[in-house]
Structure 1
């Protein structure tokens, strides 16, 4: 897959690329709905002897438009998004830098400059996709702006069979925000993952008999609420079963000393892994974060957490 960063205004013209069937969207999560849009574009390209493409945007439009002044936590930061799109067999990925100037394009200008000018023969997007200034362009009026220059396929809402809920990045974020990490897989088609670097912490877990890997996130990932979770962590291409604690270690710290940490305790693991890149896969929530009056009570609770995790992995057939 060829990844092309596009700055506005660009200088591309028809003929710079082969005929394209292109999927449009921000695609945070690359969930099952996104996958349907992208796979549809790829299928149309293959049927017609064209190349497949995806157009996404960076940063998130809500940041540039002032709707999220403090930034936004992402399900799939750009690096992860690129890798997931590549796995779907796409030929070209256009990453358009979303700026104020780009956001001011009228719908017709977007169609002319970012679809027709790239040699697009067919556009695929979800039913709720919008484009152009104030989002005035949508899939209903796209044929008017296209004026016969390319075909259009609209992907209707994809819903969960059991609840009828729309598969969306918004729903996935709400699940993560509520700690319901086990309910994300049916939406993503995979478990939710984050990446980080193993760094030195206070090494208090080692003193308690539960040595942990302190994780420094490599991007603005969305994290579930404070608590203890059953996870798997990949280090040096090997997955290990474990537990992850997110929070402020309230048993040992006063509120003014609080600094949020993400710490992973791996079952039956004793290697030194400082500086390694790690991937954490979120599987289930055990409990919320607690403050204990005695260290001994904390240790007993951690033993119960470990027992719960081992039972989970035994039931799943992935015990270490």
Structure 2
């Protein structure tokens, strides 16, 4: 899924929506956008077009052209496609969509996706809600739209796209070992309405049947367990290193120390032992699906 692929024409108002500004704290992303902007300006000037003329030809305002060329605004995929066609770049400008694809996503999400992409094992317990790797687009969108202060719709779509991009981890080869424990209450909350709730349950059934995935549900009627303080994540890498985090331990910081990681793994192991088995979990999800 990508952001804003409807192909509609944009004037100044449509093209200048919030959410596509370059993050000043994202140095690597800003460098990519600046390089793309310089290339666009070079091609435009070589074609003998003024910024206003070029903008009119591709459906954007003059001010927006200056922002993109100046590296202050991230160009959308359709912007680069139209620029390539109007400037006769034979695919050279359109090819830069790949360069800016990841820059569209917030830096902290790109960093998270990068860490997940390197992991050979991921273990995750989520105390509230569903893990981002398990969410459907509609489920994620409903969560972002419920945030306060509210995000613009453009920002919502950017974050949904970023969350869905992380799910490419399920297509990796060799496949990483993925283990998830979810609270039952998260599966029973109809985020996004009944139809989206059904799609989410169907997605969980699909993921839970993957051979490299272990999906378990913590029943609501279980008594206290080591995850009551908050989420737990442990990621292990090919070189034998690992990183973990729990909001209920070590001040919520990421940890790499072997002793601290053992504590998180101990807690996660007990959580798994208390939760439903994977077979019982799939049966429960099927039951929920039948009840919707």
Bigger share in helix: 2
Please indicate, yes or no, whether the TM-score normalized by the shorter chain is above 0.5. Answer: no
Give the strand-richer structure, 1 or 2. Answer: 1
Shorter-chain TM-score bucket reads: under 0.3
